[in-house]
Amino acid sequence: MIHGIGIDIVNIPKFKKAIEKWGDKLKGRVFTHGELSYCECRRFSEQYLAVRFAAKEAFIKAIGSRVRFKEIDIMNNSDGRPYIVLNPQFPIPNSEILNPNSEFQTHLSLSHDGDYCIAQVIVEVKTPRLQGMIS
C-alpha cells in the first residue's frame, strides 16, 4: 500500500551559491559523511549534492513527518541506482509508518538537467507486524 509520494526540485546554481556562502556549516547539517565522500570527488559536485538535498526533501514529504536531514542517507548501489537508508539511531517522531512494528520500502528516482535537479520518492507500507501474538 502506498503511504505517500514526495517530489522536490532544486535550482542547482542557487544551491551552489548557498554552499559557497555557508560552506561546511551547511554541508555538516544536511549531508552524511558518506554522501559528502561520494559527491565531492565528482566533477560538478554541487549537482550531486543538490539532488540529494531534493531527495531528502521528497522523502520528508512522502512520510509526512519532520526528520533531520542527516538521519536520511542517499546512497547508490553497485549499478548506480539511488536508494534511501535511515539512521537507526534516530527515532522518527510522530510517524505512523516508521516505527519498529511497520515494514516499509522506499522507491527513489533522481534526475538533473541544466540548472535543475529533481527527486521523487514513493513510500510503500507493507502489512504491520503483529505485536504480542497469542499462540
> Comparing 66 with 120, which gets the higher pLDDT?
120
Mean pLDDT of 7-34: 96
State the CATH number of the domain containing residue 90: 3.90.470.20
Range of the domain at 75: 2-125
| pTM (2 d.p.) | 0.86
Q: Is residue 83 part of a domain?
A: yes
Question: Could you please report the per-residue DSSP string of the chain?
Answer: -EEEEEEEEEEHHHHHHHHHHHHHHHHHHH--HHHHHHHHTSTTHHHHHHHHHHHHHHHHHHHTS---GGGEEEEE-TTS-EEEEE-TTS--TT-SSSSTT--EEEEEEEEEETTEEEEEEEEEEPPPPPSS---
Whether the per-residue pLDDT at 44 is higher than 80: the answer is yes
Mean pLDDT of 120-134: 69
Whether the per-residue pLDDT at 80 is higher than 60: the answer is yes
Q: Is residue 35 part of a domain?
A: yes
